[in-house]
Structure 1
Amino acid sequence: MTTSSVQFGKVAVLMGGQSAERDVSLMSGAGVLAALRSRGVDAHAFDPAQQGMHELRSQGFSRCFIALHGRYGEDGTVQGALELLGIPYTGAGVLASSMAIDKVMTKRIWIAEGLSTPRHVLLQRGQSNSEQLLSLPRELGLPLIVKPVREGSSLGVTKVTDASQVQAAVQAAAAMDADIMCEQFISGDEVTCAVLGAGDSARALPVIHIVAPEGQYDYQNKYFTDSTQYRVPCDLPAGEEEAIQALVLKAYKVLGCRGWGRLDVMIDAATRKPYLLEINTAPGMTSHSLVPMAAKAVGISYEELCVSLLASASLDYPARQAQEANA
């Protein structure tokens, strides 16, 4: 038994789940599982869609690596279950997770903190009329983006270039979520920046400049093609990387995140002003994923990243775990 095995005990890699991002989660989980095992960690796959969460305790797991994406994994629900079970887990806690998965709630917090994010309009499924839809291009301009409020991996996202496309785009998003966000489109450079740690010890990894075919960084181009370019070190003008890192660090901290996260940003081509789009609190760990890519740029291997994240696993209420251990 290695030192890592002793330190972490029996570890569950939570993967799969019930969200629309199940397939991506299975890919992330498989990579994390292999990496932890390669470092001597007693890690096991655990799919909450196939096993009850209570089985984590009955099977003797002492720590969880959350490789779930989207609903029932990245939204505070699994985190809450693990809090009740007293099993430390990777990533953001219950409140931060539930806020961060909601793109509109996230925007409200960022706006309140004076952080830049594109203008938006919230619609609810079945409650928007034709007059509201017609007003969107006037209010947000064209092109505009329509997306489900609580989905990731660009699922259900449509770039609307003509007013006649708005209704179909809203219907596509409404098929995935009761709440739909229509957002101002920022034309310019698309970048992403990962953050590791918590509080004052949190640090931003190198910014990655994403150059997708025809500017479409969609589900297919994220996971299943090799035509998207990821430029790291990024090729941004002097000073911009540092400014974006400072912006995402603040955006991460004001949401109360811990462990890790990845924030997506658009840089306006005309003004070079960065705009926060959204945050992922359980980022992908697939062969195409960006956090491992950014970590590699500063000399952190995929395996080292996984072990470090596992070491950061914690609880919102650690006192309870200590009380139960001493009982």
Structure 2
Amino acid sequence: MAVAAGSAPAGFGGVGFIGLGDMGGPMADNLVAAGFDVTVFDARPEPLRAAAAKGARIGTTLAALASTCSTIGICVWSDEQLVGAVLGEEGLIAGTAKSLTLVVHSTVRPATIERIAKAFAARAWSVIDAPVSGGRAASLTGTLSLMVGGDKSLFERHQPYLDAVGKNIFYVGAMPGLGEVAKLCNNLMGLCSAFAIVEGMKLGAAYGLDEETICRIASVSTGNSWYIQNWGFFDHLIKTHPQPDILYKDLWEAVHAGKDKGLQLVITGMVALTAPRLMSERHAELTRREAANDAVKG
């Protein structure tokens, strides 16, 4: 839960934050509001200016960030972006800090976290992974859920940082990457449910059953889920999210994580394969309804 302004612990070094998107931007703002000395980095000038207006410093390079900060949070889109920002030739690994802890908020494969942790260990640097859940609304209010993997003492030392951005904080184990495992388990269960609901709505509509009735029935029956309780949220994402493939990216991350352990996540893989078509059909249906409503109003 977001803590009071100015309450960052005495002696807590400078905090860097990389990635000021829908989730990362508000997280950086909440760290500033909690009293941390925050330096931000992003490839785009607009979010940098917005963060500076809230009191953050603007970083010049990733290497400089890893030379002046003792803790760096990162919230970027993909494994490739994460590895590039951290281990690339001009990434954090080029920094000179004697002591550094990276807090990874991105949803990526556990193997990616393990790779970074191994590279950091050679520098006596540390990694904890703390992927987030709750969407932009929870990011804005500092009430995200975080699933944290890594050394227990690091987790405890960074509790004030985590408290500044989240409300429900789960420590899941000492191995870096376990936070990602927990996040992928949550997302594959939730997203498989969401896409199953899309198909359920299609079946109901084909027989003339309206979605409100389906939701009312499912909400008190065995078909209940978070997405049934918040069905409009999924439609909103399909219609408005600037990166709509985020709705199935994590399914593929889970499939690959399973493969790394010799598992075949068959249902998850099938949903990931069909998700783009289901989203396209749902988007077309929502657009058709809006046009019909506009015609009636006109």
TM-score, normalized by length of structure 2? 0.33
Q: Which is higher, the Rg of structure 1 or of structure 2?
A: 2
Normalized per residue, which structure has more strand? Answer: 1
Identify which of structures 1 and 2 has the higher relative contact order when contacts are C-alpha pairs closer than 8 Å and 6+ apart.
1
Normalized per residue, which structure has more helix? Answer: 2
